[in-house]
Amino acid sequence: MTSTLYFPPSLQRFEPRRMVFSTWVDHLPFAYDLVTAIRPQVVVELGVYNGLSFFTFCQAMVENDIDGVAYAIDCWEGDEHTDAYDDSIFKDVQHHAREHYRGFTYLLRMYFNEALRHFEQDSIDLLHIDGLHTYEAVKEDFENWYPKVTPGGIVLFHDVMARIKDFGAWKFFAELEQEHEEIFRFNHGFGLGVLRKPGGNPPHTELTELLFSRDPETHKRLRQLYSHAAHFLEARRQAKRFKPKDHAEADKGGQGKQAGEG
Ligand SMILES: C[S@@+](CC[C@H](N)C(=O)[O-])C[C@H]1O[C@@H](n2cnc3c(N)ncnc32)[C@H](O)[C@@H]1O
């Protein structure tokens, strides 16, 4: 990366259409860039909740003319870490999917294990594992679903830096790091792990070259880039939030003066 200038699409044009509370917020620019780069035909997310990560994948597909399908799998009941939640979350996700991503998104309201039978071996280009975060649950999700990932496909793991309560994604991902060559970890925002399944014919893209370069300096700079990108996105959002109010104040001031003059 030392001599490469990587100017990601997220910095050029990404305005999140979906913004809801989730610790996933720090990885939105990367998610947008990854989808833009690898152009997945089949995306599967295990653990959707209010859809922040899922709809970022979808947005990148639409805005980059990616002709694929995206499956969101969740019981939409909650788990030991999110706690139980009511049906309004699912209804909101359903509404957003219909409103913006009709035709290529499928919400599979079921347990991950029930959904397995709907997917062929080697068929998923991008798999995101974000269900229950205990060591055992993440391991089970990975072992069940990895065979469904196409050779050269990508698997994402959320919360690989979260060492709270009985979270164990960090431990499972550390084991994968020992066994896999093409693997990378973002440390900010509770961590996001990225693994490329060996084999196949994966696209050679600037981003994947950087991710799987195995060069510590490149990796350090990539981590810095996406940590800054997350801050930049948030700062821009904050700035936008205040702008309309400033204009409103200015308008009020202007009108008041006119009234006084009249
Ligand atoms: C951490 S949340 C997902 C966060 C989401 N990706 C985001 O962008 O904020 C985990 C979700 O996984 C679901 N979940 C956990 N274990 C599950 C299982 N075995 N089958 C179906 N859903 C599950 C829960 O209902 C919860 O909504």
Please give the angle made by the CA atoms of 155, 203 and 208, to the nearest 5 degrees.
Answer: 60
74 Cα nearest atom in ligand 1:
22
Taking residue 84's Cβ as centre, other Cβ atoms within 10 Å add up to 8
Query: Which tens digits make up the pLDDT trace of 5-49?
Result: 899 999 999 999 999 889 999 999 999 999 999 999 999 999 999
Specify the pLDDT at position 5.
Answer: 81
Does pLDDT of 256 surpass 90?
no
pLDDT at 223: 97
Looking at per-residue pLDDT, the higher value among 261 and 246 belongs to 246
Phi, psi (rounded to 5 degrees) for 105? -110, 140
Res 259: pLDDT: 30
> In the CATH scheme, what is the code of domain 9-261?
3.40.50.150
Name the residue of 27, 79, 114 to mutate for ligand 1: max ligand atoms within 8 A of Cβ. 79
Instruction: Name the pLDDT band for 251 (thresholds 50, 70, 90).
Output: low
Average pLDDT for 56-66: 98
Reduced to 3 states, what is the DSSP secondary structure of residue 249?
A: helix
pLDDT, one tens digit per residue, over 23-33 is: 999 999 999 99
pLDDT of residue 249: 56
CA distance 233 to 69: 27
In whole angstroms, what is the distance from residue 70 CA to residue 205 CA?
21
| Strands (DSSP E) found in the chain | 42-46, 69-74, 105-109, 124-129, 149-158, 183-186, 192-196
Gap from CA of 97 to ligand 1 centroid (Å) = 17
> Distance between CA 257 and CA 259 in Å, rounded?
5
- Which residue's alpha carbon is nearest to atom 6 within ligand 1? 48
Q: Identify the DSSP state of 190.
A: T
Residue 3 has pLDDT above 70, yes or no: no
Distance 213 CA to ligand 1 centre (A): 31
Helix, coil or strand: residue 257? helix
pLDDT of residue 26: 97
- pLDDT for 4: 62
Mean pLDDT of 154-169: 97
DSSP 128: E
Q: Is 248 a residue whose pLDDT tops 70?
A: no
Residue 112 predicted with pLDDT over 50: yes
Mutate to test the pocket of ligand 1, among 43, 74, 164, 165 (most ligand atoms within 8 A of CB): 74
Please tell me the predicted confidence (pLDDT) of residue 182: 98
Provide CB contacts within 8 A for 83, sequence distance 6+: none
- What pLDDT was estimated at residue 237? 84
**Distance, CA 131 to ligand 1 centroid (Å)?**
4
Specify the pLDDT at position 93. Answer: 98
* Interval between CA 4 and ligand 1 midpoint (Å): 37
Average pLDDT over residues 203-232: 96
- Residues lining ligand 1, CB < 6 A? 22, 24, 47-50, 52-53, 74-79, 82, 111-112, 130-132
Nearest atom in ligand 1 to the alpha carbon of residue 89 is 27
Strand partners, 154: 126, 196
Question: Which of 45, 82, 93, 113 to mutate to test ligand 1, by most ligand atoms within 8 A of the CB atom?
Answer: 82
Name the strand (E) or helix (H) holding 59: helix 52-63
Cβ(32)–Cβ(10) below 8 Å: yes
Residue whose CA is at the smallest distance from ligand 1 atom 17:
131
The candidate with the shortest Cα–Cα distance to 47, out of 133, 139, 131, 144, is 131
What percent of the chain shows pLDDT beyond 70? 91
203 C-alpha to center of ligand 1: Å?
29
Tens-digit pLDDT profile for residues 165-190: 999 999 999 999 999 999 999 999 99
Closest atom, ligand 1, to C-alpha of 52: 8
CA of 81 to the centre of ligand 1 (A): 9
Lowest-pLDDT choice from 39-48, 168-177, 215-224, 237-246: 237-246
pLDDT digits (tens, 9 = 90+) for 74-111: 999 999 999 999 999 999 999 999 999 999 999 999 99
Mean pLDDT of the chain: 92
